[in-house]
Amino acid sequence: MADVSFTQTFHHTDWVDDVDRVRAAEPNGFNARFNAIEADLQQLSAVVAEVDEVLSAGPTGSKQRRLTLPPVLAKVEGVTPWVIGSSGAASVTPGSSATGLLNLSLPNNVTLTTFRAIGEASGAAVTVALSSVALGSATPQQLVSVTGDTDPFDRAVQLDPDVARTTTATTRYFVKATVPTTPATAVVRLAAVQITYVVD
């Protein structure tokens, strides 16, 4: 966008009582002054129109964004929940299983590119999946998943372009983290989930 500026041209000079003869014509008359004010307003109007055109056009080109989500996993009925620790990480009680859901509020009509999970897993594995479900449906579609089975783990996968475009008017999205029953010595923590997407 080019620089936009406005330069005032009219500067009022006060009339003096009993000295100035105010007339319609003349360089200091009403007509000259009001014409100068009108010219400034026309220039200002042109500048406002130029700014409006740029703002209405919006940003150009693709922009990559990254959404980092804390693992505030909601309990799923009938299964053992994750435990949220003082650091904000979600963990599994040793010797048990855990399943939790994280509902997402994603931007509409963007392209999801990467799904990433970060944490630690010793003696067990955690599956973290990104899914969508049509509004009014009870059947989700898994878009992508990662498995964490090392201490620490940092896994990222690319999404299939065929399912990567968000349609939030008709679809909702959520993350599901699942760990099967672990040994009593196992340690599993989920620190964060990241979603990278492109706005175009």
Query: Alpha helix (H) ranges present in the chain?
Result: 30-57
Residues 6+ apart with CB under 8 A from 109: 165, 166, 167
Q: How far is CA 189 from CA 66, 87, 156, in A?
A: 22, 11, 17
Structure tokens at 109: 């009509």
**What is the pTM for the complete model shown?**
0.69
Q: Which residues lie below 8 Å from residue 35, measured CB to CB, with a gap of 6+?
A: none
Domain residue ranges in the chain: 1-58, 63-199
How far apart are the C-alpha atoms of 85 and 188, rounded to whole Å? 12
pLDDT per residue as tens, the chain (200 positions):
556 777 888 787 777 877 777 777 777 777 787 888 888 888 888 888 888 887 777 666 679 999 999 999 999 988 899 999 999 999 999 999 999 999 999 999 999 999 999 999 999 999 999 999 999 999 999 999 999 999 999 999 999 999 999 999 999 999 999 999 989 999 999 999 999 999 98
CATH class for the domain made up of 63-199? mainly beta
175 beta partners: 102, 130
